[in-house]
Structure formats: structure tokens, C-alpha cells
Amino acid sequence: GQQVMQIPQYQHVQEGEDFTTYCNSSTTLSNIQWYKQRPGGHPVFLIQLVKSGEVKKQKRLTFQFGEAKKNSSLHITATQTTDVGTYFCAGREGYSTLTFGKGTMLLVSP
Amino acid sequence: EAQVTQNPRYLITVTGKKLTVTCSQNMNHEYMSWYRQDPGLGLRQIYYSMNVEVTDKGDVPEGYKVSRKEKRNFPLILESPSPNQTSLYFCASSLWTVSSYNEQFFGPGTRLTVL
């Protein structure tokens, strides 16, 4: 079945440093979504990417979808303590339901 | 306010005692889903439903049942809970069409402990 792998599992950065999490699929995806889960909270939708090579930005967050639609990345520039949480990617193959990666936990020290 | 609600939020029970976790959404979404979240394993889908009376197994359906008699409700039933079902459970909903997929709205979660 479809597998979505996410790395790293965990990253600890100093405030102001950049952060990137990567998502790789074993199959070609029709779209990919990113979610953020704050400690003790529930996942919250960040963005959806659909087109090959698509790049979207939300303030300090940059999302990319690979040309082959098998990988994606989330990059945060100049992290802040409010960025703390676990970031999940979720991919969809064809008309199937979403498959979530295991997430990357980000810790930001002031 | 558009939201997904789950009840109860916390539950401690014993092995074999049937329980139901309710999920309700007020956004008229077609798609609803249940996930369990365990440390290091991310979000794993238990069951999902594309619309009323349409349900299907996710990745980890063993030991769970669901029903979708109304569009807004999608209860999760554990007929005979076991300790390995101790987990954090999330219900989610979204609009759904065959050709597109929309953001999922998650409920606040239900933390279940089975002794």
C-alpha cells in the first residue's frame, strides 16, 4: 500500500535558525497536504499542493511539491517559539484517502 | 462556529467493556474519518466514510466498528476494548469529491485508556 515517509522524526533548533522537514512517497501522489499539531492539540491544516513543482509560501513557511509528485518539503525561515509542534504531511494517491506521514516534531529554544 | 466535536474527551475503562466515542460535525461534510495517534507512529486511519451509509476500512480497523446513519455523526465503537487500544483518537471531516480533496478539520481528540 501507499507509504509516506517523513524525516527527520525530531529536530531541536535555536530560535532564529531555519528548519526543514521532508516527505517522501513510495508512489506518485495526486496531492499533498501539510498539517501542524501544537503540543496537546489537534492537527490543523496548513496548505495543499496539487501541481508538479508547485511552491507556496505562507509568511515564513515555504512548501514545495516535487516535479515527480513523490516528495514534498516544508521550510521555516527564522524559527520562532510559536513554531513549536509536530508537522505532518499527508498524501493522496489517485482517488484514495489521505495517508499521513509519522510527523516531524520541532522544538525551538529561545 | 464550524467545528468537529468528540465525546468523551477522556475515558478510562476496563478490558472488554463496550464503549462508543461520538463524533459530530456541523459543516455538512461528506467525508468523515477516525484516526488513532500513538507515539512514534503518527496518525493512522481506522475507518472512513465518504457519505451516509458508506464506510470503509482504513489501515488499522481491527477491533473497531463505525456507522454513518446521518451525515453529521460518525461514532466509533469498541465492542471489546483491549489495552492495545489505549491511544489518542481523532475524528476528522472534510468536503469530498472524486476529483479533489479538501482540508480535513479535526476534532479535539479523545484520550482513551484501557486497563
pLDDT at residue number B100: 67
pLDDT tens, B46-99? 999 999 999 999 999 999 999 999 999 999 999 999 999 999 999 999 988 766
Question: Which residue in chain A has the smallest CA separation from B33?
Answer: A97
Share of chain B above pLDDT 70, in %: 97
pLDDT at residue number A32: 94
Contact A45 B98 (CB under 8 A): no
For residues A24 and A96, the model is more confident at A24
CB neighbour class for A95 (10 Å; exposed up to 12, middle 13-18, buried from 19): exposed
Is residue A38 scored above 70 in pLDDT? yes
| Residue B10 one-letter amino acid | Y
The nearest CA of chain B is from the CA of A28 a distance in Å of 16
- Averaged confidence pLDDT in chain B: 94
B16-to-A76, B13, B74, B86, B115 alpha-carbon distances in Å:
46, 9, 22, 13, 10
Residue B16 contacts residue B81 (beta carbons within 8 Å): yes
Query: What distance lies between CA A40 and its chain's CA centroid?
Result: 19
Across residues B19-47, what is the average pLDDT?
A: 95
pLDDT at residue number A93: 81
pLDDT at residue number B2: 84
| Residue A23 one-letter amino acid | C
Question: Which residue in chain B has the smallest CA separation from A91?
Answer: B101
Nearest to B36 by CA among B13, B9, B59, B17: B59
Split at pLDDT 50, 70, 90, the class of B110 is very high
Rounded CA gap, A97 and B58, in Å?
9
Contact A100 B59 (CB under 8 A): no
In b/e form, how buried is each residue of A31-54, taking b as 16+ CB within 10 angstroms?
bbbbbbbeeeebbebbbbbeeeeb
Split at pLDDT 50, 70, 90, the class of B112 is very high
Across residues A11-17, what is the average pLDDT?
A: 98
Residue B24 contacts residue B72 (beta carbons within 8 Å): yes
Contact B43 A100 (CB under 8 A): yes
pLDDT tens, A40-94? 999 999 999 999 999 999 999 999 999 999 999 999 999 999 999 999 999 988 7
